[in-house]
Amino acid sequence: MTAKHIQLPLTADTVSELRAGDRVLLSGVLYTARDAAHKRLFETIESGGELPIELAGQTIYYVGPTPAKPGQVIGSAGPTTSGRMDAYTPRLLALGLKGMVGKGRRNDVVKACIVTHRAVYFAAIGGAGALIAKTVLSAEVAAYHDLGTEAIYRLQVKDFPVVVINDSYGGDLYEEGESSYRSMP
């Protein structure tokens, strides 16, 4: 299966073409945010404040990159467990977030919101943070500098490898894989 090359930010048309199981290479701007940044974004929304980044059409990568060594753009940048962001995700999707990248399953509420808001959840390969970092062309703190590695970074990426796990039609690669495994003789 050939990987699909996708230019970020995501559009509604691009999202509609993706299906669970598709291999994708992302290029363009990707934002990072982990637990602490999500909590702060959510608190800002709840208090009626202005978000430090525009969410519409954007993709957030659940990662807290390690500091870059001399000569590197970024340190190791492997995905973190997505479920820790599930409490905040429905609200961010309602504000126009179109893509998320992490590892692991999403809860049923998030999966329903992915369908409702026509978004997509990608998985990156856990344990491959050093390899993934090689797809990052530039990295700069976009918000919440005080959070250190959990700050929101603006990454410029080229051919960042992911797989579609949850598509905008309700497809779920994890469920499909388990189902086919259970049906084996």
| pLDDT by residue, tens only, the chain of 185 residues | 799 999 999 999 999 999 999 999 999 999 999 999 999 999 999 999 999 999 999 999 999 888 888 888 998 898 999 999 999 999 999 999 999 999 999 999 999 999 999 999 999 987 788 888 899 999 999 999 999 989 999 999 999 999 999 999 999 999 887 666 666 66
pTM as predicted: 0.93
Spell out the residues 6+ positions from residue 46 whose beta carbon is closer than 8 angstroms to its own. none
Closest CA to 134 of 64, 77, 80: 77
- Report the length, in residues, of the chain: 185
Residue 184: per-residue pLDDT? 61
Full set of structural domains in the chain with CATH: 4-182 (3.20.130.10)
Burial zone of 42 (CB within 10 Å; 0-12 exposed, 13-18 middle, 19+ buried): middle
Spell out the residues 6+ positions from residue 114 whose beta carbon is closer than 8 angstroms to its own. 93, 106, 120, 121, 166, 167, 168
Residue 185: per-residue pLDDT? 66
